[in-house]
Structures are given as structure tokens and as C-alpha cells.
Structure 1
Amino acid sequence: MHRNIRSVDDVLKLLDGLFAPEADRWSADAADWWDGFYDDRSRQVPFFVAKPDENLVGYLDRGLITPGRALDLGCGPGRNALHLASAGFRVDAVDLSPTAVAWAEERAREAGADVRFHCGDAFELTPDELGGPYDLIYDSGCFHHLPPHRRISYLALLDRALAPGGHLALSCFATGEMGSELPDADFYRASGLQGGLAYTPESLRWIFSDLTEVELRRMRDEPPESAHFGEPFLWTALFRRDA
């Protein structure tokens, strides 16, 4: 018999355990799943390309964000982290997968980019390890792989790591295009995330209602010859934490 719940963190970890590692793609137990995902670099995966997100490029070009400290959540092979570094940001980038981080470090060496990579769960890394507060927290495709209860951890990370006046920029699955539209409770009954959660603009505005919306739109479809990454099945959102 086990009686081992006495904190919110204990509850979150209990709920993590309801998902198989391949379903809960943010937990530390899922590192092996992601390693297998990133192991074959020749796979036809859209975001394996060495291109930054078109919305990120646009934020910089329009002056909506300016260089400072940046955290790239779920950085994968590092394409957006490298672009931020080239734009003058001091970048920390974190991913669960050692294979993804090794690939990102290889790209950074080839580009001569100064990025500090971390392998692990951003929710578990200490403030000293992350080095914030950050003027920009960038998330390209991480948020929609969180089980519903881990939104609590995500918002707590923003509370402690996003500087006043700083920005959260994220892209996530759009309803009607990609991802599951099941109600939150049904993911626990199914013990899986069905490949990721789809969101509406209204749900994103509600979840991040403590922040000020700067822009929320569909990601533009970028052709293969473009220098930027863009897939229209994603929302792109930019929020600001008021000073």
C-alpha cells in the first residue's frame, strides 16, 4: 500500500504515470522515445530542416521582439535557437532528447553559434541551470505535446522564468488541421495524447490570459525553396508579460 501524495508536484507526477512514455512526450521517461524519433536524420519530418520559423523571423523583422536573453523550449535540432543567436540573443535551449541536443550542438558548431544547450526536463531544471529571467521564451511545437495537467507546470515556468516586459512565442496544432480535439478528461481515459493536442485561438487566449496578446494567427505555408519554415496546420502566438 502506498500513500505518497502530499503536494501538487506529487499529483502531477501521479498523472504523468497514467500516460505511456510514447504518449506523454514531455516527461523524462519519454527521452528514449524522442531519441528514436531524432535518430534518423533523413526522415521526412518538416521541422528537421535547418530553417527558422517564419513567424520568429517576422517578429524580429518588425521589431516586436528585440535581442536579450532567450529560452528555446523543446529545441530539437536547434534551428530556432541558432537563428536567435545569430540575431544577437543570448540563448539557452533545452530538450529531453540527448540525440536532438547532440544534433543541435553539431549545427551550432558548424554555424559558429554561441548557444548553451541543456538536456533534460525544463520543468525540473533549476533557475541556476536555466539562467533566466528571459526576455523571450520560444516554443515551437512543445506545448501541444503536454498532457493537460502539465499546463500548470508550463504556466509556473513562465511565472518564474519570463522577465517583466518579456515575450512568450509559441506554435501549436490548430483545430481542424492537426492534433486531437478530445476534451481534456478523455485523454486520461485513453491513457494517451493521440499524437498531440489541438487548440483554438480562444483556448490559447484563456490559458495565457495573464499575458497580453500581441499577435495570434495561422502560420504561413512556406514553399520548399523558402529560407523559412512554415506549416499552416499550426497556430503562431506572441504574448507579452506586462512590466
Structure 2
Amino acid sequence: MNTVKLEECFVGESILNYEDLLEMLDDELREPKQFWEDFYEDRTKNIPFFKVKGPDENLVEYFSEGLSPKKVLELGAGPGRNSIYMAKQGSSVSAIDLSNKAIEWAKERADEEGLNLDFHCVSLFNFEFEPNSYDFIYDCGMFHHLAPHRRLTYLEIIKKALKKGGYFGIVCFNTDGALDIPDWDVYKEKSLKGGIGYSEERLKEIFNKDFDILNFRKMKKPSLSDDLFGEDFLWTSLMQIKS
């Protein structure tokens, strides 16, 4: 049977260390947990990835071209489309999401397929993992909801979690999908405006230091008959951690 672990983060009122500072800034900028519970409350909403049960088209491309990770971590797994696909390809998959309702939906789908995935309802920043244990980490839609102060932590977690030579895949807003908000303006306006849209240059600048970028392109929009997800207002990229 699939396992679900529920973990909560309680934010204090005193800033006594660096993590307290990050959590204070999170409280100012990040969509709260209840936002995501409400987001997943109605499964019939007109949300592009609610309409498709299949995986991201770029993820299928990676696997068809030889990616075959044994152990995978998916960030912001939502209803489980990609986690279930990777499990069907033979990967051992751990999937995390901040929303209980998203995890419940993903678990239902996995049970329907007779698949055993390791689900965690937890923030990435509170997720406990064995260092250097994942062959592949995949993020479809979490990164563009991160405030700038969390990017460094995000990168450190990914680097710590990946095995030597491990792969990282990302799907995030391009500038057709959301505003390209300068970092300082996020704090001046106290808002992510629904998510940050990244230019190609800006996104590569963030990852180039630590990763070799193997594939970078706009997502393709498949035909409805393909049962794959794809929207051209999103970037897709496959990277490999540098030695």
C-alpha cells in the first residue's frame, strides 16, 4: 500500500537564526498551505494539468531517449501524473507536495494502477532524505512559485539529494506564462504575482554554475489524443549535476 506522511512546519515569532529569517520571508510571500488545499479542492476546475492524466511530454522524451533512473524524487507532485508514469517505467519514486488534497488525489490514482509510491505531504524545506541518494529529481511547477530567497536553499537541497552524476529536470513558467519580475521587486511589492516568469538567460544563470544543461526548450503542446501534458508558456530542461 502507498504511504502518506503528514508533516507540518510551525513558524515562530523570533528571528534567532538564518532559518527563522527564511521562514519569516516565506510567511510574507509564499502561498500558504491553505491556498494549495483550496486549489486542489475542486478536481473539475479548468486547470490545464487537471484535464490530463498522462505525464509531461518532455518527461516521456527523456525516458524514451535513455533516462532510466532507479530512484526518483518528484517535487510538487500534484495529482501524481509524472510520479505514476516514472513508477510504471520501473523507477522507485518518492513524491512530495505541500497539499494534503493533492497527495490524496495522487494516492488514489496510484492505487488504481496498483503502484506503490512513497508519498509525503511536506514542504521541500522540511523534507528529510538520505544525502546523495536520488538518480533523478523532477520539478514540474514548483520552482516558479519560489521567492528569490528560497532559490539558494532549493539548489542546495537538490545538490545534496542527487547522486554523483545525477539528473535534474524542471518545468517552469517562461515569460509568456508569467511576468519576469526582478528579484528586488518581489520584496518591494510583497508578491510573486502568481509565479515568476523566467527568461532563458535568467534561468540558465541560476543553474549553470552547478549543472550541465543537456536539453533546454519550450514545452510542446501535444494533441488531446496523446494524453500527455504540454503548454508552450513553460520551459523544460534536463540537466546533470557537475562533478
- TM-score of the two chains, using structure 1 as the length reference: 0.90
Please identify runs of 4+ aligned residues in structure 1 that moved more than 4 A.
none
Look up the SS of the partner of 1:139 in the other structure: strand
Counterpart for residue 238 of structure 2: 238
Q: 58, 62, 67: which is aligned to 2:61?
A: 58
Q: 84, 99, 102: which is aligned to 2:101?
A: 99
Look up the SS of the partner of 1:18 in the other structure: helix
1:201 deviates by: 1.5
1:5 deviates by: 3.2
Counterpart for residue 72 of structure 1: 74
Q: Deviations over 1:40-73 (max 9, x none)?
A: 011111111211000000000011x213100010
Contact 2:168 2:239 in 1 (8 A): yes
* Cα distance in 2 for residues equivalent to 1:198 and 1:227: 26
* Cα distance in 2 for residues equivalent to 1:100 and 1:214: 30
Q: 17, 25, 32: which is aligned to 2:27?
A: 17
Contact 1:93 1:118 in 2 (8 A): yes
Q: CA RMSD in A?
A: 1.6
Q: 1:228 to 1:47 in 2, by over 3 A?
A: same
- TM-score of the two chains, using structure 2 as the length reference: 0.90
1:6 deviates by: 4.2
Q: Deviations over 1:151-203 (max 9, x none)?
A: 0121111121111111110000011x111212111111211110100011211
Q: Deviations over 1:94-123 (max 9, x none)?
A: 000000000000000001112100001111
1:139 deviates by: 0.4
Matched to 1:66, the amino acid is S
Matched to 1:137, the amino acid is I
* Cα distance in 2 for residues equivalent to 1:31 and 1:132: 28
- Aligned pairs for 1:80-119 (under 5 A) are 80-119=82-121
- Aligned pairs for 1:179-190 (under 5 A) are 179-190=178-189
- Aligned pairs for 1:59-208 (under 5 A) are 59-63=62-66, 65-127=67-129, 133-175=133-175, 177-208=176-207
Q: Aligned residues, how many?
A: 230
Q: 33, 36, 52: which is aligned to 1:34?
A: 36
* Cα distance in 1 for residues equivalent to 2:140 and 2:159: 19
Contact 2:74 2:137 in 1 (8 A): yes
* Cα distance in 2 for residues equivalent to 1:171 and 1:86: 21
Q: Which structure 2 residue ranges, 5 or more long, are not aligned? A: 1-11
Q: Which structure 1 residue ranges, 5 or more long, are not aligned? A: none
Contact 1:67 1:87 in 2 (8 A): no
